[in-house]
């Protein structure tokens, strides 16, 4: 059973995070952007090679295609990797229509861009409609590692966060920084919170982490200021539900 722990607070921890944010902001300010909007796309930099190394094997990029046309791009988190196959968690926008009906499109072709730059086929394994989460299955890759959700944390308001994604075209790992919101998301969906991390479409499904690399949530892109994200406890709940279907 996956568990969630509460992040410890205190003035010492807040001061340490404040100092680290200043350092990250200083380095990120000199990053070369990959897209036309530098404020929304910041390259992963030298500020923490240890953190990048920790996260990279658990983050993939996904794209769905209608024929030769891209339907949607998103980021995925590796949640299972064994000799049979690999499973990645992302948001269902990858395989749903963009209209109000939000229908699943089962005829889409799915491609997965791995950290080693290989692009492989993917398939829908299962999904959860209320949470808009979907698990994409692909072939086993020894270079991948399962994300550690046992350290999934809940954070206090105004906690400094990083929104991480992998670009499908380049395969690069990228990051933006921000803080958690003071109040729950006004979207009206239980289990969501807001952060000031600015992301674009392909950041959807990417992990939101603290400065120790602990997973706080998963980004859900909407055309709005900042970004909403699925909180860690909701991710753990959905994953436990997914796996219980195959055990029972």
Residue 191: CATH number of its domain? 2.40.10.10
Render pLDDT for 59-97 as a digit per residue (tens, 0 to 9): 999 999 999 999 999 999 999 999 889 999 999 999 998
Residue 243 lies in a domain: no
* Residue 146 Cα to chain centre, angstroms: 13
- Number of domains present in the structure of the chain: 2
Question: 128, 146, 164 — which closes off a domain?
Answer: 146
Q: Is residue 242 part of a domain?
A: no
Among candidate residues 146, 165, 182, the one where a domain is terminated: 146
Q: What φ, ψ does residue 92 adopt, rounded to 5°?
A: -70, -5
Tokens of 49: 């090679």
Please provide the average confidence, as pLDDT, over all residues in the chain.
Answer: 78
Domain that holds residue 174: 4-54+150-237
Q: Is 67 found in the same domain as 93?
A: yes
Judged by DSSP in three states, 25 sits in helix
Residue whose structure tokens are 């109000």: 100
Q: What is the pLDDT of residues 88-144, one digit of tens each?
A: 999 999 999 888 777 889 899 999 999 999 999 999 999 887 778 999 999 999 999
**In percent, how much of the chain has pLDDT > 70?**
72
Note whether 46 and 83 are same-domain residues: no
Give residue-wise pLDDT tens across range 4-55: 444 444 445 555 555 444 443 433 333 333 444 444 444 444 446 788 888 9
Give the C-alpha separation, 207 to 210, whole Å.
10
Nearest to 86 by CA among 44, 65, 58: 58
How many beta carbons lie within 10 A of that of residue 63, not counting itself?
21
């Amino acid at each position: 059973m996956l568990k969630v722990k509460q992040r410890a607070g205190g003035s010492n921890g807040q001061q340490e995070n404040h100092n680290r944010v200043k350092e990250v902001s200083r380095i990120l300010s000199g990053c070369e952007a990959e897209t036309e909007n530098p404020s929304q796309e910041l390259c992963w930099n030298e500020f923490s090679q240890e953190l990048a190394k920790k996260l990279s094997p658990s983050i993939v990029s996904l794209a769905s295609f209608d024929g030769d046309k891209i339907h949607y791009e998103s980021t995925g988190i590796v949640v299972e990797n064994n000799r049979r196959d690999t499973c990645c968690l992302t948001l269902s926008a990858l395989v749903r229509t963009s209209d109000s009906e939000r229908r699943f499109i089962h005829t889409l072709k799915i491609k997965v861009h791995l950290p080693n730059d290989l692009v492989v086929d993917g398939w829908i394994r299962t999904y959860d409609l209320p949470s808009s989460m979907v698990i994409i299955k692909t072939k086993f890759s020894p270079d991948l590692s399962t994300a550690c959700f046992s350290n999934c944390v809940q954070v206090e308001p105004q906690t400094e966060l990083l929104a991480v994604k992998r670009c499908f075209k380049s395969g690069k790992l990228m990051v933006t920084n921000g803080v958690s919101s003071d109040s729950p998301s006004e979207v009206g969906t239980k289990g969501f919170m807001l952060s000031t991390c600015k992301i674009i479409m392909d950041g959807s499904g990417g992990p939101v982490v603290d400065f120790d690399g602990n997973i706080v949530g998963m980004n859900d892109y909407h055309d709005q200021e900042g970004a909403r994200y699925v909180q860690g406890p909701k991710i753990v709940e959905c994953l436990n539900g997914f796996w219980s279907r195959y055990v029972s």
